[in-house]
Structure 1
Amino acid sequence: MEWVVIVSVLVMTILSLLRVNVIIAIIAAALTAGLMSGLTIVESMDMLVGGMGGGANTALSYILLGAFAVAISYTGITSLLVNYLIRVLTGKKTMMLLAIAGVASLSQNLVPVHIAFIPILIPPLLQLFDRMRMDRRAVATALTFGLKAPYILIPAGFGLIFHETIVTGMNQNGANITVSESALAMLIPGSGMIIGLLIAIFITYRKDRDPDSFVGESGTAAVVEATNIRFTKQHVFTLISIFAALIVQIITENLIVGALTGLVFMFLFLVIPFHKGDRVVTEGIGMMGTIAFVMLVAAGYGNILTETGAVEALVEVSSGFLDNNHALIAFILLLVGLLVTIGIGSSFGTIPILAALYVPICLAAGFSPLATAALIGTAGALGDAGSPASDSTLGPTSGLNADGKHHHIWDTVVPTFIHYNIPLFIFGWIAAIVL
């Protein structure tokens, strides 16, 4: 049973690297896990479908955020930002990448649209990237940094949800900790991501890359040229709608309600005519639907791993021979967390599972609450970078592959795994030892 997680994740990883569609790869991994656990193919598929409901909230959130992002794009307000970036940063690759990382970071706290901004902002910049001979793998790492680092380091917006999930999971399993302490524990692992970003921008992808060498997948959208546009009252109403969505999301801690609020305000202000409502929602589904469905299938896969006891068996076997060696225990727990979260692809969704398994082991071994939080938070975060099923990798690909020149696995997943999962693992291991 302890081999179920390892083998199924390997199946998903190998198929993904061979350029098999990520949805098919996850389904194959789920069926492998089910069969190895003694289920039939029909039982495995039923459990996969039954577990997909666990990702319904996330999937609906992404679709509504996609519709909200499409509505925002209709006003042309994103063109103002694109034109500014083109005017100020053309020829300045390093500054462009840092600016993209900064804009992405805002999507986690200030304007809570998460990945929905990427298919709106990035496609108009693709031709500029090609003229600058910019390596799109660098752009992917910059975007993923902005989608991950803020919630790891800052307990606000998505970060507040992340750290509250850690705190709730630990408190329910007998380890008391506060949100501020959880954020403190993640400072060391989060600093590893900063180092990974700097290495990607200044060392790994610093050289020019010939656009004709890109081997991507079929395009996901038409590349849109940025056009000159003036700031109007429509843009004022758009900003008010964004602000309203932010406030409601913070108050309710619900992305669906926040996105709906933003859409309603844009229709009430007539920023988007009522007769275009169907078109906005349809395009939102088209833009984010694939990502939402991947997250649903990944939730079903996670259901198989947890319901069959595969994750628990792996943790028990891994921890059974560790004695009280803190360095070795931390290393093994992070390695197990990496395997589990790479398969499921969600940090928020796997933390409750990891907390239930990790806290008893850490308490018995004498880890401090801060060290335990660092282990759980880092293990969860490992699933958001370098997983084919993660929104933090699917999002960048949705924008960068708009012209069919960017491959999800080789141009997004592999670079983000190298530059973020490796330093996260190392710095998370150090945090567990020193805290």
Structure 2
Amino acid sequence: MRQAVSQPRSPEAELPALTGRARTLDVVLIAIALLYVLANSFGFGEFARLPQWYWGVDIALGVVASVALWWARKHPVLIGVLMIIPGTLSITAGLAVVAAVYRLGASASPRLSIPVVGVHLALALPYHWVVDVPGMDWLTWLIFIPLLYLLTLSVGLLARARQQVIEGLQRAAVADRERYNAQLATLRRDERERIAREMHDVLAHRISLLSVHAGALEFRTKSAADPGHRPMSPEEVHDAAVVIRENAHLAVEELRELLEVLREDESASPLGASRPQPRLEDVRDLIDEARRAGQHVDMTIDEAAVQNARASVQRTAYRIVQEGLTNARKHAPHSPVSVAIRGDDGRLRVEVTNPVALGLTATEIPGAGAGLAGLTERVRIDGGKLRHGLTGGIFALSGELPIGTP
């Protein structure tokens, strides 16, 4: 579609697009040209040098020239060339020839229309020398005919230039609309992908909490028959069930929100559907929630760096902490976790570390999942770097982000 819009249309390609109004104007113009032929048919006596038999030829040429105007839109150059004959030999074809010159200027390229009109002038001027035109002397004829042809051609060229400007504006509008639609589609896709990443992080966090509490509940209730283990009290069972129910409810609500956004109609922009974004000040709530789930979390936060960090960096730093807590909960559930957020040389450094089970190797630490892959891309967009790996029995997830503009 873009290629078709950018190519200029030839006059021959305009015919299928002709409107009923254009064809009606052509019919009216042909009718006026025929009336001009009829009106001049009664003035034969004024042209004394024309023989009686030639007057019929003159009228016939006038009629043919008038009817030929029907094809002047589709083939302006061809009709303009053919009109040289009646324009040279027939006085009754004058109006039709002038109309053809206008159509030639309006529809054909100037490099074609100007030479054709030049031939018209060169062959039309001697007519007055052969036949005296009543009411017009030779000098007046030499001035009037060039002015008539050149004025008509100029009006046609002006109409052509106007049409080209309109078509150029239309093509530019179509191209701008296509660019806007493409940008809007890209924005929608990027926004949906961002929302999907956000929801993945949140759901992974919720489900990991569910898994921890459900596992603890399963272990403690199963071991109640073993005399060596203390069974869970009703209050502990109740608290665990409340945590499971609340996190299951939140997970379902957040999943429903995700599905609503992703199923949103293409005509509606999803830009307004974004959920409130977390900030670094929300890390404390995240850590408190992890502690309530049974994780042992040690937290160190540089308050000055947190306050100075821009919103996108705070959101990314929050996601680093969330991903680190989630991974620790899934792969090292009984290990203490250390969270450190510090500012240094205009950079915000976020690190989440936890010891792993003895004998666990780096290849057994999940590092290619959607969470870390999406987080790596998120940090890269914010102009930072993300590292994760196992060193000396400690798994570390660390990110370095610019506090200000990257």
TM-score by length of 2: 0.18
User: Over alpha carbons, which structure has the higher Rg?
Assistant: 2
With a CA cutoff of 8 Å and minimum separation of 6, indicate the structure with the bigger relative contact order: 1
Say which structure is richer in strand.
2
Say which structure is richer in helix.
1
TM-score by length of 1: 0.17
